[in-house]
């Protein structure tokens, strides 16, 4: 058992207790002490360690909210510019910015057991912190991915947030739709819902259309909106299938709009304008 590999598997930084739990001996710890830094008593840190993990361990905290998104595979388009750390203690946090020269966002309150070996908050705490902290356009997709990938039930969080009178966080939670299958779809849905409500129409994510199959969005029963990823049209077979779907949609009386994720991210106003034009054009005929 290579002590350096064990340390690397823990993000490159760990307390002695975590290393012993991973199977290392006291002799192995002595070996690590000669080969890696010891920024604090009982803490071992490789040069290439996870800096957010280091910040958490140095201050008896855990990584949470946006900083924990990659650990749980959650959808988050833009990595946070600061470390999001969670803790229950009341110690001063004015030195947290000194770790790796990056500032920290401190989240008070951890209600669930943290990860068994990493300085990582429980998924439930990560989501609660995200709902209270992140902008709606970031929090909603992140929570939607937790529902889809980890089977998290939003009803539990709704009761919790309602009891704590967290109005904005509760509204964000209620905007989560587990039917979306990707980050661009989740972001597109946040743009489509207000427009559809304004026009008195329904938006159905991952709708099944007879003769066409499943589409990303069906609005008003006639407008299909597809968000095509980078891997789309990877071979001739997919091109032929796509052409057939488009032809079937036209023959069935549907209108189809297709977009790449970059349009949703960089030109949201254009996206909404296009969809509005397609919807109002059909509705006013």
Q: How do residues 197-215 score in pLDDT, each as one tens digit?
A: 999 999 999 999 988 889 9
pLDDT at residue 246 in the model? 73
Where would I find the beta strands (DSSP E) of the chain? 13-15, 37-40, 43-45, 62-63, 83-87, 104-108, 203-209, 213-219, 223-227, 255-259
**273: its two tokens:** 């304008």
Please compute the mean of the pLDDT values over residues 100-106 and round it to a whole number: 77
pLDDT at residue 235 in the model? 58
**49: its two tokens:** 């360690």
Per-residue model confidence as pLDDT tens digits over 146-204:
999 999 988 888 877 877 778 888 999 999 999 999 999 999 999 999 999 999 999 99
What is the side-by-side strand order in the sheet with 104-108?
62-63, 83-87, 104-108
- Which phi and psi (to 5°) does residue 46 adopt? -75, 160
Residue 228, pLDDT above cutoff 60? yes
In this structure, what is the dihedral angle of CA atoms 199, 202, 205, 208, given to the nearest 10 degrees?
A: -130
Residue 92, pLDDT above cutoff 60? no
pTM above 0.95, yes or no: no
Please compute the mean of the pLDDT values over residues 4-24 and round it to a whole number: 95
How far is residue 206's CA from residue 194's CA, in Å, rounded to a whole number?
18
Residue 285, pLDDT above cutoff 60? no
Rounded to 5°, the CA angle 214-220-225 comes to 45
Confidence of residue 95 (pLDDT cuts 50, 70, 90): very low
Q: How far apart are the first and last CA of the chain?
A: 73
Residue 227, pLDDT above cutoff 50? yes
Per-residue model confidence as pLDDT tens digits over 18-39:
999 999 999 999 999 999 999 9
Domain 183-283 superfamily per CATH: VSR Endonuclease (3.40.960.10)
How far is residue 199's CA from residue 283's CA, in Å, rounded to a whole number?
9
Across the chain, mean pLDDT equals 88
Sign of CA dihedral 138, 141, 144, 150: negative
Confidence of residue 244 (pLDDT cuts 50, 70, 90): confident
Query: Among residues 201, 145, 134, which one has the least CA distance to residue 172?
Result: 134
Query: Among residues 203, 207, 227, 223, which one has the least CA distance to residue 281?
Result: 223
* CATH 3.40.960.10 domain extents, the chain: 183-283
Residue 93, pLDDT above cutoff 70? no
User: Is the distance from CB of 86 to CB of 109 less than 8 angstroms?
Assistant: yes
């Amino acid at each position: 058992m290579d002590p350096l590999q064990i340390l690397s598997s823990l993000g490159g930084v760990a307390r002695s207790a975590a290393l012993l739990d991973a199977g290392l001996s006291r002799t192995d710890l002595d070996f690590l002490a000669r080969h890696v830094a010891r920024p604090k008593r009982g803490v071992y840190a490789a040069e290439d360690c996870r800096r957010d993990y280091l910040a958490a361990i140095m201050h008896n905290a855990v990584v949470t909210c946006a900083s924990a998104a990659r650990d749980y595979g959650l959808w988050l388009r833009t990595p946070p510019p600061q470390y999001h750390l969670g803790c229950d203690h009341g110690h001063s946090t004015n030195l947290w910015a000194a770790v790796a020269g990056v500032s920290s966002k401190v989240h008070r309150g951890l209600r669930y057991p943290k990860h068994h070996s990493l300085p990582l908050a429980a998924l439930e705490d990560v989501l609660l912190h995200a709902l209270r902290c992140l902008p709606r356009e970031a929090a909603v997709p992140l929570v939607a991915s937790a529902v889809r990938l980890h089977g998290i039930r939003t009803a539990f969080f709704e009761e919790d947030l309602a009891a704590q009178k967290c109005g904005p966080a509760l509204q964000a939670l209620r905007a989560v739709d587990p039917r979306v299958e990707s980050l661009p779809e989740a972001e597109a849905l946040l743009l489509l819902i207000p427009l559809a409500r304004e026009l008195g129409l329904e938006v159905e994510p991952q709708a099944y259309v007879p003769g066409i199959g499943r589409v990303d969005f069906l609005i008003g029963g006639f407008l299909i909106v597809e968000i095509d990823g980078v891997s789309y049209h990877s071979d001739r077979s997919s091109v032929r299938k796509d052409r057939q779907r488009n032809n079937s949609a036209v023959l069935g009386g549907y209108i189809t709009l297709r977009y790449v994720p970059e349009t949703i991210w960089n030109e949201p106003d254009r996206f909404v304008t296009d969809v509005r034009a397609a919807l109002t054009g059909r509705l006013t005929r």
